[in-house]
Amino acid sequence: MRIQNKQAWLAIPMQILRMALNWSRDQRRLLAAGMDGVLCVIAVWIAYSLRLGVWELFSRPVLTFAAATLLFWYPIAYLTGVYRSLIRFSGARTIANLAIACTILAGPLMIAFVLFRFPEVPRTLTILHPIIFLLLLASSRIVIRFALLDLLHSVSPDARRVIIYGAGRAGQQLALSLRHEPQIYLVGFVDDDLRLAGQRLDGVPVFSSEQLGKLLDDTDVDEVLLAIPSASRMRRREIIERLQEEQIYVRSLPSLSNIIEGSVTVNDLREIQIEELLGREAVAPNEVLMGKTIVGKTVLVSGAGGSIGSELCRQILRCHPARLILLEQSEFALYAIEQELTEMTRAMDADIPIILELGNIAERSTPMRIYRNHRPDTVFHAAAYKHVPLVEANPISGVRNNVLGTLYSVEAAEANGVSHFTLISTDKAVRPTNIMGASKRVCELILQARAERPDVATVFSMVRFGNVLGSSGSVVPLFKAQIAAGGPVTITHAKITRYFMTIPEASQLVIQASAMARGGEVFVLDMGQPVRIIDLARSMIQLSGLSVRDTDRPEGDIEIVETGLRPGEKLYEELLIGDNPEPTNHPRILRARESRWPWKELEAELQALETIIRGSGDPALAIRIIGKLVPEYTPDTAWAARISTATS
């Protein structure tokens, strides 16, 4: 009964406080000014009492001194910005500002009551009053902040209960920001430093990481906020995997630079990025290699609007080329990347011309015209059709764009004095089971064969890597959309694995590999360990604060459904055809040893392939030639039957 009476007693002041929060800023400022006026008069009474030993509330000297202090206080408060800061966000700076204002107040009081003597007004009041007034002002700010933030916050029934993992500077800044969020209640900190366990930070308890599981069970926490921006990727992965087991929603703070700048807010929190589960430390790019073929050069990127092409453009722009030429077939993709790069040049305060070329490289005249007009020094050839099932269903279009587009670009590069030409290849070119991968292997063969010719001055090289996280058509954005829609999450096979790398890291390595090329190399990027797609799906579901629904957990939130391998899809991808790759000067870049075709023999097959594509358009005949050029290619069963029929 006593508890109910206490809650009823708290309800009225809580309601008044909530009403005050809804007032306009001007109304709250007037209220603060009126409250300070009352405190100013109270400070006069206290000062008189301490000085004379008696309480005189309304005598003539008291009223005179009170009127003078009010007259001086409000102009000083206005000039020093006392009422420009919000009381509910009061901190050390607010108290310091009040101290400055009260110190200034002592000046006119001394002039008025020391130089111009007033009967029965002690001169010591001019010092005593500002001190007492400051104490009352500071106390009022602290009490109001507690009432508005801590008391109101703690009794909010709808507040999300959160834990901050990390009690360092980042965690403390985040905790301060959370105090201003009425719908979030901070249960405590968790930190790996055992010395902090049992301590309190601004009244909030700190727990050791060993207590995390029990803490989540006992406190009914809704969310964990990671505030460990300086932790290694391996350590972050360990923490995230541990939290996955608890099936709790996890968000993370951004990079360390935001913490250093002291700008951490709740709005900086983001969902866990899947690249944080790779568990591999990124290697800082070699600035010499990054700039060798770019700084002061005319650089062309084909497929500039794609996932890899657009990131290449961003990285290239940061290296300050003389000009950047964007070659793209999609009008919208070209427009989008041009807008972004233009904004980048403004932010960099750099005068780098960005030239847009809308064209189809599968038409021989297009790359020849563009290369002749702009005379690029360095070319990154990222234009390709890469979606395996789509190319499998449209082989002529895929081969035409990938193979002929590369062939025509190579011819244009040689004819117009390109210094370095780098092909963006794929792990699907290794022992391919699909047309897309086989066509990319033919592209590699073209560059290898041309690089062996003694009359070719262009340095041709190719860089082969696996999937990049977040690229168009990849599983990560698909899984995110499926989870947001309530599932199911679809995978093609429970045993399927893929190599993954972030787009920025892949693009930086491509640029550095290009700088190391001497001609004809197949560079292979170190992709780390392959990832099981079903594990990736489970991780994304669990990090969303949801559970996987399966036979062991029929009450789970999201189901994972197998749909079967798509045409041309492999369970496992590889990065090497041969064995014993050679190391390079970069720890993440290897040089592969691959078989080659002499140019004269390859040229004859390419001419036959071009005739079929431009003529009959028979996919079986085209794929038969692809199979001859890439003997490791094992086509899909349906295509194998059609090729056999076409051959007979």
Catalytic (active-site) positions: 428
642 three-class SS: helix
Residues 6+ apart with CB under 8 A from 86: 25, 28
Residue type, 628: K
Minimal CA–CA distance to 626: which of 400, 352, 379? 400
Distance between CA atoms of 360 and 401, rounded to whole angstroms? 8
Distance between CA atoms of 405 and 400, rounded to whole angstroms? 7
Judge whether 558 and 489 are in contact, CB under 8 Å. Answer: yes
Q: What is the DSSP string of 43-70?
A: HHHHHHHHHHSS--SS-HHHHHHHHHHH
Minimal CA–CA distance to 630: which of 349, 442, 409? 442
Q: Dihedral of CA 301/304/307/312: which sign? A: positive
Residue with tokens 């709808």: 158
Residues 6+ apart with CB under 8 A from 64: 118, 121
Distance between CA atoms of 135 and 102, rounded to whole angstroms? 10
Specify whether the backbone of 156 is left (phi greater than 0), alpha (psi in -120 to 50) or beta: beta
423 bridge partner residues: 381, 462
Q: What is the DSSP string of 132-165?
A: HHHHHHHHHHHHHHIIIIIIHHHT-TTPEEEEEE
Indicate the angle between helix axes 405-415 and 435-451, nearest 10 degrees. 20
Please state the separation of Cα 453 from the chain's center in Å: 45
The two beta strands, 223-226 and 160-165, are: parallel
Residues 6+ apart with CB under 8 A from 230: 168, 170, 256
126 three-class SS: helix
Q: Let me know how long the chain is.
A: 648
Residue 556, both tokens = 């789970």
The DSSP letter of residue 402 is I
Judge whether 495 and 489 are in contact, CB under 8 Å. Answer: no
Distance between CA atoms of 133 and 143, rounded to whole angstroms? 15
State the number of CA atoms in the 13 A half-sphere of 237 facing the CB.
11
Residue 205, both tokens = 């308890």
